[in-house]
Structure 1
Amino acid sequence: MRAGPPGKWGDLSRRVASTLVLLGIGVLLAVAQGAWLRLGMAVISAVTFWELAAMTGWRRPARHVTLFGRSRPIALAAIAGVSQAVALTGLPLAWTALVVPIILGLPGAARRDRLTYAIFGAAILLVAFGLVGFRENYGLNFVLWLMGVIIISDTAGYFFGRVIGGPKFWPAVSPKKTWSGTIAGWIGACLMGLFLWWAGVGDRTLVWISPLVCFAGQMGDIAESWLKRRAGVKDSSNLIPGHGGFMDRFDAVTGAVLATMVIGLLTSLPVVN
C-alpha cells in the first residue's frame, strides 16, 4: 500500500479518495444533462476499459494477439468510449454498440481471461448506461440516494470493521474485509432507507432495497479485488497518484448500479422525492 501510514488506519486515505470520486460522480450527474452527461459517462467508460484491458492480458503484448499495435489499450479504450456514446443516443437498437468493444477486445485478452474480460467489460458499459437512465428517468435524488448508500456502506464498513474486527468476510479474495464491517454496512444502508421513508422523501421499499444495493456494492468491491489478485497487481492503474486507479474507486458503484437495474426489471424501484 503506497498511501497512508501503516497500521489499522493505513488505508484511510484510500477510503477518502473513494468518497471524493463518488461525490465527483454525483456532481457530474447533478450539473450535466443531455449531451454533456452522455459524454461524461462515455469518458468514464473509456478510462475504466483501459484499466480492464491492462489487467486481462493486454499489458504483455508480445504474448498475445496484436490488434492495434503498441497503442492498442488506448485504441480499445477509445472504441469503448465511442460505443458508449452511441449506445446513449437513445436511437433504436443503439445499445447494441455496447458489444463492439467486447468483441474487438477478446482476441487481445489472455486466453484464460477472455470470459473475465467480457463479463467485467459488459458490467462497465452497463453501469454507465444505467446511471444515465436513472438520472433522466428517476431524477437526481434517486441517483444521490444510490451514491449515499454506497458511501454510508463503505464508511460504516471501514470504521466498524477496524474497531470491532473479528472474522474475515472472504479472506482469500479481500483479506481486510470483516463480517463486522460488512454487516455494519447493511445496517447503515437500512437506517438510511428508514430515515428517508420517515422523513417523507422516499417510499417504504427503501428500507429493504437500500441494504440489498449495499450488499451488491460490497460484492462489486470483492469482484474487483479478485480481478486484481488474478492479474497480480495491487491497483487497477496509477491514474490517481497514491490511490490506485479508477476501477479501484468505482467498484462498489458497479455492483450497486447493476443490482438496481436488476431490481428495476423484477419490481418497481423506490421513489425518492
Structure 2
Amino acid sequence: MSASRWTDLRPRMISAAVLIGLALGAVWIGGFAWRGFISLACGIMVWELVRMVDTARDRSAPVLGLVAGVCAIATPYLPPALALPLLLLPSMAGFGRMERGGVTYAVFTALILLAGYGFMKLRADFGLVWMLWLVCVVVITDVGGYFAGRMIGGPKLWPRVSPKKTWSGAVAGWIGAAIVGLIFAGTTHAGVGLMGISVAISMASQIGDLAESTVKRRAGVKDSSNLLPGHGGLLDRFDGMLGAALFLLIAGQIVDFPPGLE
C-alpha cells in the first residue's frame, strides 16, 4: 500500500478536529452561538463560491458573503413565511455583480442558505440529540468513505469529476450511517425507520460532496479556498453537511421525523 495515499491524513485530522470541536461547542450551547456559527459559515461559503466561479473575485466575494451571512442570522428571528425571501435574497443580489457563473452562484447560494436554515431549525425544533445524529451520520460517511476508498479501492464513483471517490467508499459510508441510525434508534426509542433515513442522509451528503466537486472542476480549482489545512475551504468541508441538511429539510415534509417518536 502506497504511503502517498495517507500523506494528507494528519492535516485533515487536525483541522477536522478543530472544526468539529468548534461546531460541537456551538451545537451544545445552542441559541445565538449556534445561529451565529451557522450564519458565519454560510457567509464564508458564499465568499468561497464567488471566488471560485467569478473572475472579479475581489470585487464581489466579500460583499455577497456579507449579504449571505446577514440574511442567514436574521431568518430564525422571523416567521418562516417572512424568512423565505431572505433565504433567496443573496442569490438575487449576486446576479448583477457576477461577470460569469451567475447561475451556478445563484443555485448554490440558495442551497447554502436553505441548508443553514435547516441546521438552525433542526437544533431549535428537535434539540441537541438529533443535531448530533445528523453530524454523526455525515462524519461517519466521510470517514468511512475516506478509509474504505483508500484501503479497498475498486471502481470509481464518478472519475470524471472526483477521481478519488470509489463505490467501496460510498457503500462503506452507507453502512456506517445505518449503524449510527441503529444506535440512535436504540438510545432514543425511535423506530427502525431511522436506519433508512440515516442511509438516505448519507447519500444526500455524498451528492452534496459531488455537486461541489463539479463546481470546482468547472472552475479549474482544487479547493474552494485554503482556510483549512488538508481540507481546503469551508465549502470543501461542509459540502456533505449542506446536502444532508437540505435533504432532511425536504424529507421532513414527507416522513415523520424523528420516526416512531411522534
Give the structure-1-normalised TM-score: 0.87
Counterpart mapping for 1:1-273 below 5 A: 7-13=4-10, 15-16=12-13, 17-18=15-16, 20-33=18-31, 35-57=32-54, 59-60=55-56, 71-91=59-79, 93-111=82-100, 113-270=101-258
Deviations 1:50-90 (A, max 9, x none): 00111121x436xxxxxxxx543211111111111222212
Which amino acid is 2:153 matched to? G
Deviation at 1:159, TM superposition (A): 1.1
Cα distance in 1 between the residues matched to 2:21 and 2:202: 17
Q: Which residue of 2 aligns with 1:64?
A: none
Once the two structures are TM-superposed, the CA of residue 125 in structure 1 deviates from its matched residue by: 0.5
Q: Which amino acid aligns with 2:147?
A: F
- Amino acid of the structure 2 residue aligned with 1:60: A
Partner deviation per Cα, 1:74-125 (whole Å, 9 max, x = no partner): 11111111111222212451331122211111123244x2221111101110
Per-residue displacement from partner, 1:32-57 (whole Å, max 9, x unpaired)? 31x33322222111111100111121
Structure 1 position 20, deviation (Å)? 4.3
Aligned to 1:66: none
Moved more, 79-88 or 165-174: 79-88
**Alpha-carbon distance in 1 for matches of 2:199, 2:11:** 23
Question: Is 145-154 or 186-195 further displaced after alignment?
Answer: 186-195
SS in structure 1 of the partner of residue 174 of structure 2: helix
Give the unaligned 5+ runs of structure 1: 62-69
Between the two proteins, the alignment pairs up a number of residues equal to 258
On the 8 A contact 2:209/2:239 being kept in 1, the answer is yes
The percent identity for this pair of structures is 40
Secondary structure of residue in 2 paired with 1:8: helix
Q: Which amino acid aligns with 2:30?
A: A
Q: Partner amino acid for 2:255?
A: T
**TM-score using structure 2 length:** 0.90
2:63 & 2:217 partners in 1: Cα distance?
A: 25
Equivalent-residue separation in structure 1 for 2:156 and 2:19 (angstroms): 26
- Aligned AA for 1:25? A
Q: Distance in 1 between matches of 2:28 and 2:259?
A: 18
Instruction: Judge conservation of contact 2:12–2:229 (CA < 8 Å) in 1.
Output: no
Aligned residue for 1:175, secondary structure, equals strand
Shift in Å at residue 195 of structure 1?
2.5
Equivalent AA in structure 2 for residue 218 of structure 1:
Q
Greater shift, 16-25 or 35-44, is seen at 16-25
1:196-232 CA-to-partner distances (Å, cap 9, x unmatched) read 2234543222111101100110111111111111111
3-state SS in 1 of match to 2:252 = helix
For the residues of structure 2 that align with 1:38 and 1:251, how far apart are their CA atoms? Answer: 18
Amino acid at match of 1:83: C
Gaps of 5+ in 2: none
Render the CA deviation track for 1:127-183: whole Å, top value 9, x for unaligned.
111111000101110000000001111111111111111100110111000111110
Shift of 1:194: 1.7
Aligned partners of 1:267, 1:136: CA distance in 2, in Å?
Answer: 19
